[in-house]
Amino acid sequence: MSDKNMLNRAVKDSFIKLNPKTQAGNPVMLLVYISAILTSILWVISLFGIGDASSGYTLAIALILWLTVLFANFAEAIAEGRGKAQADSLRAAKKEVDAHKIPSVTEKEKIQIVPSVSLKKGELVIVKAGEQIPADGEVVDGAASVDESAITGESAPVIRESGGDRSAVTGGTTVLSDWIVVEVTSEAGKSFLDQMIAMVEGASRKKTPNEIALQIFLVALSIIFILVTMSLYTYSLFSANQAGIDNPTSITTLVALLVCLAPTTIGALLSAIGIAGMSRLNQANVLAMSGRAIEAAGDVDILMLDKTGTITLGNRQADAFFPVDGISEKELADAAQLSSLADETPEGRSVVILAKEKFGIRERQLSDKNMVFIPFTAATRMSGVDFDGNEIRKGAAESMQQYVESAGQIYSKKCDEIVKQIASKGGTPLVVTKNHKVMGVIYLKDIIKDGVQEKFADLRKMGIKTIMITGDNPLTAAAIAAEAGVDDFLAEATPEGKLEMIRDFQTKGHLVAMTGDGTNDAPALAQADVAVAMNSGTQAAKEAGNMVDLDSSPTKLIDIVRIGKQLLMTRGSLTTFSIANDLAKYFAIIPALFIGLYPGLAALNIMGLRSPQSAVLSAIIYNALVIIALVPLALKGVKYREVSAGKLLSGNLLVYGLGGIITPFIFIKIIDMLLGVIGVA
């Protein structure tokens, strides 16, 4: 709201949206629009002395009704403003470049330079350092460092390579080093960047089922109030004839009364609330493919989360040394750090650090004693070092047992017991040997992220069940699940297992959310109600999901659920406030309006409004101003608290229900007094 350029654009768009086709998209505000036109015609007629109300009064009503329509347009335009600003920056990143098309991976030297817009799905392009990737695609050869800041806003480059789950690239990003061969996966105009631009500026935003249902309800209310207003007019006309006096209720007054009683507040803000919800998701660097996905996030009650990177830090850390068979802890630590000197993985470095912290053991020079380092391989599942005729190895328990027994040595029973104890705690045991003799075990611990227990407790209060997905064995998975505080876990997870679990929950009536980044996650993502694909993941995962996390952060799913719930809460709270407003305005206006016909209504005129015209003017001014007053709340959203649905409902009914009844009485009276001071009505 403090951005002057955005405000200026919103004011301009407010007048552009007066187009009848635009107004027809919102039935409640269309009623106000037609009422503004009708009162404007009545004002022109009143200038010739025709009509049942003064020209000044009719003009005032017409102007206020036009302002009401403009305020509703402004609410929608200001909500769209942030999306349009983001779309402008994305368009700046989207530009036509020359693409270096090649016939095949083996014919990289046969380059044909073509415009990026002419690329077809399935064609191959080679992109080298300093060049912009011309289209969305999958890396089929090579590896490169890619700058994705134009899309994600993050300045740190990422690695994209062929094979695995980090092969997808986005058109408009830039290769910083090396080269990659990209297979184009989208036609011109249908790229990921094009989808982002369309979504963030709201061009492809469709009304969600909840919005449509609420709009039908609001239309039904409006029809009821039209019938009420018509019956009031005929009843007033009949009573006036019976009493032999002029009908005190003019058509202008009845039109104003209809607008006051119709649910114009929520009708004006409904679209803005939906757009603002999507904008909040965009600000969290998440692209929603539909508004329905955001609403579904608000209704989710099952949350499936990957263990690595979401619940744990992802890098296991050495936590303790457990020596066996007479070996001292310091001897074990020295052998462990020697075997880890060339291990540049986080786990390997943590072994060296732990040995240094516990016993002051320093790293030795790599050239010392003719050291030959044995790298880790998937086949051997061990690594180590040879020096001066000694062999030190560390690795998985099963591999180390085979290694020891293949040399004719006896595998330590004490070591086997320690390995089982570590596994039962959710840790990873690494067995260390020297010259085929077991020295002991390194305890690698999965480090649970700070605060995740509290987050899961909050989700539990919200009625959401959390399920950890991991490839670990059930014993390890159970220990980590207990420490993290999740409600359930799926161990040794397979694509089929994830899909089966999601379907099972959905069959029981649950809404399921999950994250994924690999091709093997695509079936489960396609099945989930809220499917968040990582931007760093494969094209198959992105196409299967209904949201894309541009930051590729697995923890983002929790934020998405909060944003979804906040959207539903904001819409529900303002709907409650709007309907409560209508109830209050009814009892504020009707007594003052018909007190001339029915003096007994004076007892209900608790605000003591000065005249029927003053009551209507005060109410219709309040009706217009309350829209503007609620725009910041519609954009920011109602504050969400992690409490049960029952507490949320009772709290919102108290604040927005009771507040919606009391507020009109206060402000209509204040406006009535101000009109009296300036001599109006």
Which residues belong to the active site?
306
Q: Strand, helix or coil at 251? A: helix
Token pair, residue 572, equals 């529900």
574: number of Cβ within 10 Å: 23
494 is in an annotated binding site: no
382 is in an annotated binding site: yes
383-to-25, 345, 390, 400, 441 alpha-carbon distances in Å: 67, 12, 14, 10, 14
E strand intervals along 129-194: 137-147, 158-161, 168-169, 174-184
Parallel, antiparallel, or unpaired for β 437-445 and 317-323? antiparallel
Angstrom distance (rounded) from CA 62 to CA 35:
8
E strand intervals along 48-103: 98-102
381 is in an annotated binding site: yes
H/E element, 548 = strand 547-549
Query: Which neighbouring-strand residues pair with 174?
Result: 132, 147
394 is in an annotated binding site: yes
Distance of CA 20 to the CA centre of its chain: 33
450 is in an annotated binding site: no
386: number of Cβ within 10 Å: 15
E strand intervals along 192-316: 286-288, 302-306
Nearest Cα residue to 478 out of 436, 425, 553: 425
379 is in an annotated binding site: yes
517 is in an annotated binding site: yes
Query: Which neighbouring-strand residues pair with 312?
Result: 308, 448
Angstrom distance (rounded) from CA 589 to CA 668:
9
Residue by residue, DSSP assigns 127-143 as EETTPBP-S-EEEEEEE
Contact 540, 607 (CB under 8 A): no
376 is in an annotated binding site: yes
343 is in an annotated binding site: yes
Contact 589, 616 (CB under 8 A): yes
383 is in an annotated binding site: yes
347-to-312, 351, 378 alpha-carbon distances in Å: 14, 7, 16
Angstrom distance (rounded) from CA 144 to CA 178:
5
Angstrom distance (rounded) from CA 151 to CA 29:
37
Q: In sequence order, which ranges of 462-494 are alpha helices (DSSP H)? A: 474-484
* Annotated binding-site ranges for Mg(2+): 517, 521
* Annotated binding-site ranges: 343, 347, 376-383, 394, 517, 521
* Annotated binding-site ranges for ATP: 343, 347, 376-383, 394
